[in-house]
Amino acid sequence: MLGTSVTWGDITFMMTGAGLTLAITFWAMLGGTLLGIVFGLIRSHSPWYVNYPMGAVLDVLRSVPLLIQFILFNSFQSIAGWGMNPFVVGCVVLAAYTSAFCTEIVRGGIQAVPVTTRRAARSLGMNWAQDMAYIVLPLGTRVMLPSWIGLTLGVMKDTALVYAIGVIELLRSSQIIITRKPHEALLILAIAGLIYFIVSFPVSRLGAHLEKKWREND
């Protein structure tokens, strides 16, 4: 690159790291969202002796720093002989971590639907599954979406912590380049920040677009 020692090879290396960042984010959000929907439904409709223990486990996942979760799970799976590579470990841990937050997003969205609306659906002859599919989830999704978008963006940044288990994602690839070219540290970090912005911006815009579309349809 003109006027700097940062080469296109360095940029390519960082873009490869960005690809891993996006891949981990995708699988973590997919797994975490699916688990969050299931756990959210259970927590919204289960008795206290199911709700409290599940809530306690999810509180642990939310409370323990993610870096510690990565290291502990990676060590445990190595001792257990599961043979999971660092990428899979990162996806699994981050999905579990994401599910703990997504569960509360789903539960909050479900509880935001007025009881009177649900009673009206039942009075029309809908069963529980129809009530959830046609009334609760469509209405609750409007409440859930902003928080889910924020969670997605947060998870994308949290992927930087997988460096602790040996995954060379965007931030770690930037650090590797900085060790070779410490005098270009600010430029390299600026490029990394720009890449993070480029991959994050479409997600935030998509959320804003969907919110606007729903408001126009009300």
- State pLDDT tens for residues 84-94: 999 999 999 99
Q: Which two structure tokens, joined as six digits, stand for 164?
A: 């602790």
High-pLDDT (> 90) share of the chain, %: 65
- State pLDDT tens for residues 122-169: 888 888 888 888 888 888 888 898 899 999 999 999 999 999 999 999
* C-alpha distances out from residue 129 to 1, 103, 132, 203, Å: 59, 19, 5, 30
Q: What is the pTM of this model?
A: 0.89
- State pLDDT tens for residues 161-215: 999 999 999 999 999 999 999 899 999 999 999 999 999 998 888 888 877 777 6
- The per-residue pLDDT for 214 is 72
High-pLDDT (> 70) share of the chain, %: 97
- The per-residue pLDDT for 102 is 96
**Domains of the chain, each with CATH number or no CATH:** 14-217 (1.10.3720.10)
- The per-residue pLDDT for 63 is 93
- The per-residue pLDDT for 100 is 95
pLDDT of 21 higher than 80: yes
Task: Average the pLDDT over 4-9 and give the result.
Answer: 85
pLDDT of 2 higher than 50: no
Task: Average the pLDDT over 103-111 and give the result.
Answer: 92
- The per-residue pLDDT for 194 is 94
DSSP for 48-112? HHHHHHHHHHHHHHHHS-HHHHHHHHHHHHHHHT----HHHHHHHHHHHHHHHHHHHHHHHHHHT
- State pLDDT tens for residues 45-63: 888 888 899 999 999 999 9
Task: Average the pLDDT over 21-44 and give the result.
Answer: 95
pLDDT of 217 higher than 70: no
Distance CA 90, CA 96 (A): 10
Q: What are phi and psi of 34, to 5 degrees?
A: -60, -45
Distance CA 165, CA 135 (A): 43
Give the single-character DSSP code of 114: -
